[in-house]
Amino acid sequence: MLLYLSNLKRWSLLIYSIFSAIVTVIYIMFNSTFYKLDLVRYSNDIDYYNKMSAILPKGLLQLNGNFSQLDSPLLIIVYLLGILICLIFLILNWNPYYKRTYTPLISMLGFLLPLLIRNGENIIWMLLLGLIIAFIGSIFYVFAVGKTYK
């Protein structure tokens, strides 16, 4: 039982990063608009050209609602819970010196990124960048505490 709990401490940040990526991708799939660009119509129709020229800088895949900020309660809760889990693992590995690691801070930065930074007009890029950083940080965490929890 003690070995199971130590493996859970080791792998849970990575499991949560994968879970948050799945929730985010499912949310983007069901709450987004994908604009298809018809190149022939884009070059011939001036009204279509003006409409698509306004859409193209924001990206062809956009979340419905406010494009520049995260306003979904589900995603805000998922990312805040990720920050809390990162803090818990930072505290769990802080007290004994041989287990001390700062790698949960990388994952915490990944979970904080979409909540704090508004880069451009489309929040999807910040969500994906934050998930990539959180995933990389959780992989580093697994490697950093691998020998201490065996």
Q: Average pLDDT for residues 69-79, to the nearest whole number?
A: 84
* Residue with more model confidence, 61 or 89: 89
Task: Confirm whether 38 is domain-assigned.
Answer: no
Q: Which residue has the higher pLDDT, 130 or 60?
A: 130
pLDDT given for residue 103 in this prediction: 86
**What is the rounded average pLDDT of the residues 3-25?**
85
Task: Give the pTM.
Answer: 0.79
Least confident interval from 19-23, 48-52, 118-122: 118-122
Of residues 104, 99, 106, the one with CA closest to residue 149: 99
Residue 40 lies in a domain: no
For residue 63, CA distances in Å to 68, 105, 119, 135 come to: 9, 28, 14, 22
Total domains, the chain: 1
Q: In the block, which residue shows the tokens 């930074």?
A: 117
Q: Name the residue range of residue 15's domain.
A: 2-31+67-144
H helices of the chain, where? Answer: 2-30, 39-44, 46-55, 73-92, 104-116, 124-144
- Residue 94 maps to a domain: yes
pLDDT given at position 16: 94
Please, which pLDDT band fits residue 147 given cuts at 50, 70 and 90? low
